[in-house]
Amino acid sequence: MIHTSRTPCLELYPAMSRLKAGVVRYASIATDIVSALGVEPAPDCRIGQGRITITFRRLGASRWSEREQVEHALHVATVARTVLANDSRQTVRDRVKRAIVVVYEDAALVRGCDVLARWECVVPG
């Protein structure tokens, strides 16, 4: 079947969905931050438009005391800001002033139920 009109594909085939693609910003910086933290398992680090989000999974941190969580989150933010400040690119160094979100996610099986514990701290810039 050949269509000569410029009808968008989604109108011809409504069951098709749009292809979604994402751009990873500053992947090398995210890798540098993860390396500088030296934590196993390695956290997921995402550098977005407004915030830097560092997610720790299977660390057991969601069961730490609040004092330990906050101290660790502040340490993580300090390490991330140091890596950003030492980069040669001005656009990266400008991100030092942005908020850093530290997230702890832990999964457990409680009486046959999957339970996800999540703790999030936004460290302002």
Domain membership flag for residue 4: no
Residue 69's domain comprises 9-123
Domain membership flag for residue 1: no
Phi, psi at residue 46, to the nearest 5°?
-125, 130
Domain membership flag for residue 3: no
- Kindly tell me the burial class for residue 14, based on how many C-beta atoms sit within 10 Å of its own C-beta (0-12, 13-18, 19 or more): exposed
Q: What angle do CA 30, 57, 29 make, to 5 degrees?
A: 5
Domain membership flag for residue 57: yes
The total number of structural domains in the chain stands at 1
Beta bridge partners of 102: 54, 121
Domain membership flag for residue 2: no
Domain membership flag for residue 99: yes
Q: What is the pLDDT of residue 65?
A: 93
Lookup: tokens for 38: 């030296």
Residues 44 and 87 sit within 8 Å (Cβ to Cβ): no
- pLDDT tens per residue, range 67-117: 999 999 999 999 999 999 999 988 888 889 999 999 999 988 889 998 888
The CATH code of the domain that includes 53 is 3.30.70
